[in-house]
Amino acid sequence: FFHMLVLPLKYIFGIQIVVKGKENLRTKKPFVLVLNHQTSLDILVMTEILPRRCVLIAKKEILYMGTFGLACWLSGVIFIDRSRRGESIDTLTEVAQSLHKDNLRVLIFPEGTRSHGGSMLPFKRGAFQLAVKAQVPVIPVVLSSYNSFYNQKEKKFTPGE
């Protein structure tokens, strides 16, 4: 469902995405996929690499972001209320159990928010606690900086390579 909503935007904006190492995501076993998070454009990249049977985990605040929040909810995003630590741990425990039972993959932005300025923020523990609980590998994905073709302040694109 998420692919159907987001993928057309890539064509509307004329964006071409180059993915290196996509073969590392073709395993049929459960894993935790972690991506650095720069801008809302990361969603377009996500649709390019999202493996089958993958669920997203996101902060609960996204649920209240109008149409986008509704689309996330309809797509089955699992929301974490970071202000309720116990509840968050319980949710991650349930997800850890589902990874093997339902043969799922999980995508998380471990920084917990977007990192502006080109460098990554410190990682939150949730993605790694989930991987340890489920005894599954963590597969890191690095999104290269958009600075060469996207001006974050002006929300403006320039042609890239």
Q: What is the pLDDT of residues 65-85, one digit of tens each?
A: 898 888 888 888 999 887 888
**What per-residue confidence (pLDDT) applies to 28?**
86
**What per-residue confidence (pLDDT) applies to 119?**
66
| Mean pLDDT, the chain, whole residue set | 79
Domain 29-142 CATH class label: alpha beta
Encoding tokens for residue 106?
């999980």
pLDDT greater than 60 at residue 31: yes
Report the 10 Å Cβ neighbour count for 61. 14
The residue ranking higher by pLDDT, 126 or 106, is: 106
* Cα distance between residue 63 and residue 80, in whole Å: 10
Per-residue confidence at 135, pLDDT binned at 50, 70, 90? very high
Mean pLDDT of 78-100: 86
